[in-house]
């Protein structure tokens, strides 16, 4: 299956900048890599993948997710509150309700949603690890991703201190010593991390936040351990004004400036959100190659604001695209994220703020760069064949003069005809052939009902 010819496409979007953003013709795959692009004729006996009435893109790269939240969508208490209240009332209330089955079902929901929207690489930031769990969340997540055949990066998160919210009605948050966190990341990496160019599995150091989840004196030690390990560093940062208020009040500096003093910037670092960034902070990010995981839908849903992704891009910085957790973004798919990014930056900054090709670049080449995966992200000769083929026969695409950009500018549910990771099929003829969607739907209902019943009992006990 790793040798074939993709032919007949309406257009090819390469993920590259400028005139190279588009190509024409066919794409020949040999041993899981792109061998040729152009006006190609099928060779005798060559397997043909039909891309007629479809556009071909690089596989999409989601650089920040929380798969455990896929069974926490639309929790009523969290629908109309800002970030701090949402954190308290949704993930920090429900984290201890997630047994192994719930996490496995949740991960399947999230990965199915992502794969069927064209994602072939997923970075998941999991930050709840507790002795109360009779399982290892990292193992569950890697095993589930292996079933789907996608590339998977686990940001092994956690905290050494709890965070004070706007109320105390939460279970005690799981914390660990810094030494225990470092040892746990190292053990997870030993079990799962693969540093090969064509890796399907990677691990990153990912404390929940450097502001609220670590002591000041721990920043340098964690950074040193992370550098020594050869792994990357990931965290939430500047998601809303609370982060800025915290660092200004405690350290007299804005978050990015503060972290620059602690060597927490660099080409091996990517931060989720970065909504509240001053121009001088953006300049630092661009100069150091520190990447942004832009989460336009979740930031909008929570009223946090619009990250200055288009400005960072103009400065030459690294911008990637992410859907974030489904508990704060009930359409946790990459096509919805692309449409949101395309729309909101134009709404905020004018029609020249971004283009469809730029947004696709964030979702492909930018994502690969943020994760340090140099062999994917663009359709170029020699690159690994991580590819998505988007069907354009649905009514929303009919009548378009520039059909190739339909999946970016039209929103709605994507119809991925095929997708591949290094030439190996992920989506085949619009479905994940191994996954029983009816069973997954039934599992989801059962798990959500069980979680809701448990939470209702806890609330009743608390008020008794």
415-450, pLDDT tens digit by residue? 999 999 999 999 999 999 999 999 999 999 999 999
Write out pLDDT tens, residues 111-121: 999 999 999 99
3 state DSSP class of 385? coil
Average pLDDT over residues 236-246: 97
Q: Which residues, 6 or more positions from 237, have their beta carbon under 8 angstroms from its beta carbon?
A: 209, 210, 211, 243, 255, 256, 259, 271, 272, 273, 274
CA pair distance 36, 438, nearest whole angstrom: 39
User: Is the same domain home to 291 and 330?
Assistant: yes
Give pLDDT, residue 135. 94
- The answer to the question of residue 441 being in a domain is no
pLDDT in tens, 4-47: 999 999 999 999 999 999 999 999 999 999 999 999 999 999 99
pLDDT value of position 234: 98
Whether 168 and 282 share a structural domain: yes
Report helix, strand and coil shares of the chain as percent, to nearest 5. Answer: 40, 20, 40
**64 and 54 within one domain:** no
- Confirm whether 437 is domain-assigned: no
Q: Is residue 452 included in any domain, yes or no?
A: no
Domain annotation covers residue 442: no
Domain stop point among 336, 371, 406: 371
Q: Is 284 helix (H, G, I), strand (E, B) or coil?
A: helix
- 177-233 pLDDT, tens digit per residue, is 999 999 999 999 999 999 999 999 999 999 999 999 999 999 999 999 999 999 999
- Residue 316 within a domain: yes
- Statement: residue 462 has pLDDT above 90: no
Strands (E), 164-294: 201-205, 232-237, 269-273, 291-294
At 166 the pLDDT is: 60
252 contacts: CB under 8 Å, gap ≥ 6: none
Distance in angstroms between the alpha carbons of the first and the last residue of the chain = 61
pLDDT tier for residue 464 given thresholds of 50, 70 and 90: low
Task: Indicate the pLDDT class of residue 2, thresholds 50, 70 and 90.
Answer: confident
Domain boundary among 371, 406, 440: 371
Q: Are residues 334 and 201 in the same domain?
A: yes
- pLDDT classification of 170: cutoffs 50, 70, 90: low
Distances (CA, A) of 187 to 156, 157, 160, 190: 11, 13, 18, 5
**What confidence tens digit (pLDDT) does each residue in 326-359 have?**
999 999 999 999 999 999 999 999 999 999 999 9
* Mean pLDDT value of segment 298-306: 97
Supply the Cα-derived Rg of the chain in whole angstroms. Answer: 21
Overall pTM surpassing 0.85 (yes/no): yes
* Domain boundary, last residue among 354, 371, 388: 371
Give the SS3 label for residue 281.
helix
Strand pairing category for 60-65 and 22-23: unpaired
How far CA 201 is from CA of 9, 292, 426, in Å, comes to 31, 21, 16
Residues 115 and 248 placed together within one structural domain of the fold: yes
Q: Which of 345, 460, 378 is nearest to 61 (CA)?
A: 378
- The set of residues, in sequence order, having a beta carbon less than 8 Å from that of 234 and lying 6+ positions away, is 64, 123, 125, 155, 204, 205, 206, 269, 270, 271, 272, 293
Phi/psi zone of residue 45: left (φ > 0), alpha (ψ -120 to 50 degrees), beta? left
Task: Tell me: do 207 and 268 sit in the same domain.
Answer: yes
pLDDT digits 0-9 by tens, 248-277: 999 999 999 999 999 999 999 999 999 999
Same domain, 250 and 357: yes
β-strand partners of 271? 235, 292
Cα–Cα distance for residue pair 106/327, rounded to 1 Å: 11
Tell me which DSSP letter residue 7 carries. Answer: E
Tokens of 194: 């693969």
For all residues of the chain together, what is the average pLDDT?
A: 96
- Domain housing 367: 60-371
- CATH number of the structural domain spanning residue 107: 3.20.20.140
Mind listing the pLDDT tens digit for each residue in 123-158? Answer: 999 999 998 898 999 999 999 999 999 999 999 999
- CB–CB of 367/436 below 8 Å? no
| pLDDT confidence of residue 163 | 78
Is residue 151, in this structure, part of any structural domain at all?
A: yes
Going by their DSSP bridges, the two strands 60-65 and 119-126 should be labelled as parallel
Does residue 323 sit within a domain? yes
117 phi/psi in degrees, rounded to 5: -110, 10
Quick one: how far is CA 127 from the chain centroid? 14
CA distance 417 to 87: 36
Domain match, 34 and 121 both: no
> H helices within 252-361, ranges in order?
255-260, 279-288, 296-301, 309-314, 334-349, 356-361
Statement to judge: residues 136 and 203 lie in one domain:
yes
219 CB neighbour count, 10 Å cutoff: 19
Whether 396 maps to a domain, the answer reads yes
Report the CATH number at residue 392: 2.30.40.10
The pairs formed by 137-141 with CB atoms below 8 angstroms and a separation of 24 or more are 137/68, 137/103, 138/188, 138/191, 138/192, 138/203, 139/191, 140/100, 140/103, 140/104, 140/107, 141/67, 141/103, 141/107
Number of domains in the chain: 2
- Do 66 and 53 share a domain, yes or no? no
- What percent of the chain lies above the pLDDT cut of 90? 92
What band does 169 get if pLDDT is binned at 50, 70 and 90?
Answer: low
Phi, psi of 181 (to 5 degrees): -65, -50
Rounded distance between C-alpha atoms, residue 274 and residue 393, angstroms: 37
Predicted local distance difference test score (pLDDT) of residue 347: 97
Token pair 């706007």 in the structure block, residue: 166
Burial of 167 (0-12, 13-18, 19+ CB in 10 A): exposed
Tell me, yes or no, whether 279 and 411 share the same domain.
no
Overall residue count recorded for the chain in this entry: 464
Each residue's pLDDT tens digit, 360-408: 999 999 999 999 999 999 999 999 999 999 999 999 999 999 999 999 9
Residue 168's pLDDT is 61
Q: How far is 340 from 408, CA to CA, in rounded Å?
A: 9
Residues 9 and 123 in one domain: no
């Amino acid at each position: 299956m790793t040798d074939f010819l993709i032919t007949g496409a309406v257009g090819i979007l390469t993920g590259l900048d400028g005139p190279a953003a588009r190509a024409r013709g066919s794409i020949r795959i040999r041993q899981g890599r792109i061998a040729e692009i152009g006006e190609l004729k099928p060779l005798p006996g060559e397997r043909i993948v039909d891309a007629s009435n479809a556009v071909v893109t690089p596989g999409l790269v989601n650089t920040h997710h929380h798969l455990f939240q896929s069974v926490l969508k639309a929790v009523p208490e969290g629908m109309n509150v800002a970030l701090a209240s949402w954190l308290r009332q949704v993930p920090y209330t429900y984290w201890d309700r997630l047994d192994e089955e719930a996490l496995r079902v949740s991960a399947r929901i999230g990965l199915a949603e992502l794969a069927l929207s064209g994602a072939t690489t997923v970075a998941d930031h999991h930050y709840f690890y507790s002795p109360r769990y009779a399982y290892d969340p990292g193992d569950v997540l890697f095993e589930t991703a292996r079933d789907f055949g996608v590339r998977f990066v686990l940001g092994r998160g956690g905290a050494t201190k709890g965070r004070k919210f706007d109320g105390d009605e939460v279970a005690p948050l799981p914390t660990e010593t810094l030494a225990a966190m470092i040892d746990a990341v190292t053990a997870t990496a030993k079990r799962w991390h693969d540093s090969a160019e064509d890796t399907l599995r990677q691990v990153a150091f990912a404390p929940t936040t450097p502001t609220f989840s670590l002591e000041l004196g721990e920043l340098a030690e964690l950074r040193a351990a992370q550098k020594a390990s050869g792994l990357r560093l990931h965290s939430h940062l500047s998601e809303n004004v609370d982060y800025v208020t915290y660092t200004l009040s405690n350290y007299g500096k804005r978050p990015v400036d503060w972290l620059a003093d602690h060597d927490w910037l660099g080409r091996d670092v990517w931060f989720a959100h970065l909504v509240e960034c001053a121009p001088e902070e953006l300049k630092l990010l661009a100069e150091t190659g520190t990447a942004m995981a832009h989460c336009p839908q979740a930031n909008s849903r929570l009223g946090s604001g619009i990250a200055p992704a288009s400005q960072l891009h103009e400065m030459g910085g690294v911008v990637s695209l992410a859907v974030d957790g489904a508990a704060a973004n009930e359409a946790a798919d990459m096509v919805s994220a692309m449409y949101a990014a395309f729309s909101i930056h134009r709404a905020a900054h004018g029609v020249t703020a971004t283009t469809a090709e730029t947004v696709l670049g964030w979702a492909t080449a930018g994502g690969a760069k943020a994760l340090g995966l140099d062999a994917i992200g663009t359709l170029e000769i020699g690159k690994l064949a991580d590819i998505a083929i988007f069907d354009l026969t649905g009514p929303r695409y009919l009548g378009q003069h520039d059909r190739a950009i339909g999946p970016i500018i039209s929103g709605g549910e994507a119809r991925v005809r095929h997708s591949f990771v290094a030439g190996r099929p992920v989506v085949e003829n619009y479905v994940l052939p191994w996954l029983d969607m009816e069973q997954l739907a039934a599992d989801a209902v059962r798990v959500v009902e069980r979680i809701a019943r448990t939470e209702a009992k806890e609330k009743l006990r608390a008020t008794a």
